[in-house]
Every structure is written in C-alpha cells, then in structure tokens.
Amino acid sequence: MIIMGVDYGDARTGIAVCDKFEMLASPVCSVSQRNKDELIKEICSLAKKYNVEQFVIGLPKNMDSSEGERARKCKNFAAELSEISGIECVMRDERLTTVTAHNALNVTNTKGKKRKAVVDQVAAVMILQDYIDFRRISGSK
C-alpha cells in the first residue's frame, strides 16, 4: 500500500511517501501554505499523483503523553483531509521527530535556507518510516 506521511505545520508541511511494498519512506516536498483549505487541496493533488491509499499524520504529543492545542489542530486537520480526500488518515506519535530531523541535518552539515526547506520533509519521512516499521513488526498490514 502506498502511504503518505504528513508533518502538518502552520507555515510549512512536510510530505513523504513510501513504496508500494512499505519498505522505505522517501521525501516528496515541503508545502508552504498557511491556508488550510489550500493546503488540503495541494495534498489531495499529491495523493492522486502518487496513488496514495492512506495518510499518516504526525500527532505532536507532549513528553508526558498528554495532548495539547497543537495535537487538537492536527486531529482536526486529519479529519478534514480524510473527509475531502476520501482516504483514511491514521495519527502517529511524532514526539521528537523535528529534533531528530535537525540532528540528522547536523550530521549532513545542512544549514541555512536549505535546512529550513528540508527539515519538514525529513520529519515527514521519520513519521512515515516509524509507521511502516510498526506495521511490518506488528503484522498489521
């Protein structure tokens, strides 16, 4: 199944997809769009282009596992995306993915504007890879 990972943000949203065998998540793009309706349209267009069958949306939980305002926004976004696209959205804990993405970019010495452009994509890849690894290990394909 082709799954699209989404790291939803107010200014930029990272997008990643996996191959049909659910082995490897790859970055697609970062969408710079503050208007939620326009963002959903762009994601739906990408989903059609990549033949996406499921979305996995990052759920930003607090370190104590509680959910705050940002988590509520992400859940609402996922519900709207699913309703408009007709594609199931699964929420996946994304704690520390942005920190891990920044650390990965430190290793590759990616800085400045280039870093800002790709950090959301790297976070989307991490969310998606975590989810497809979970599916493979748990046998829930």
Q: Tens digits of per-residue pLDDT, 37-93?
A: 999 999 999 999 999 999 999 999 877 888 889 999 999 999 999 999 999 999 998
Q: Mean pLDDT over all residues of the chain?
A: 88
Residue environment code for 27-65, b if the CB has 16+ CB neighbours within 10 A, otherwise e: bbbbbebeebeebbebbbebbeeeebebbbbbbbbeeee
How far apart are the C-alpha atoms of 3 and 71, rounded to whole Å?
21
Comparing C-alpha atoms, which of 125, 98, 102, 123 is closest to residue 24?
125
At 18 the pLDDT is: 97
CA-derived radius of gyration, the chain: 14
Contact indicator for 17, 10 with CB cutoff of 8 Å: no
* Residue 72, pLDDT score: 95
Single pTM value for the model: 0.87
d(CA 110, CA 107): 8
Residue 122's nearest CA partner among 92, 139, 99 is 99
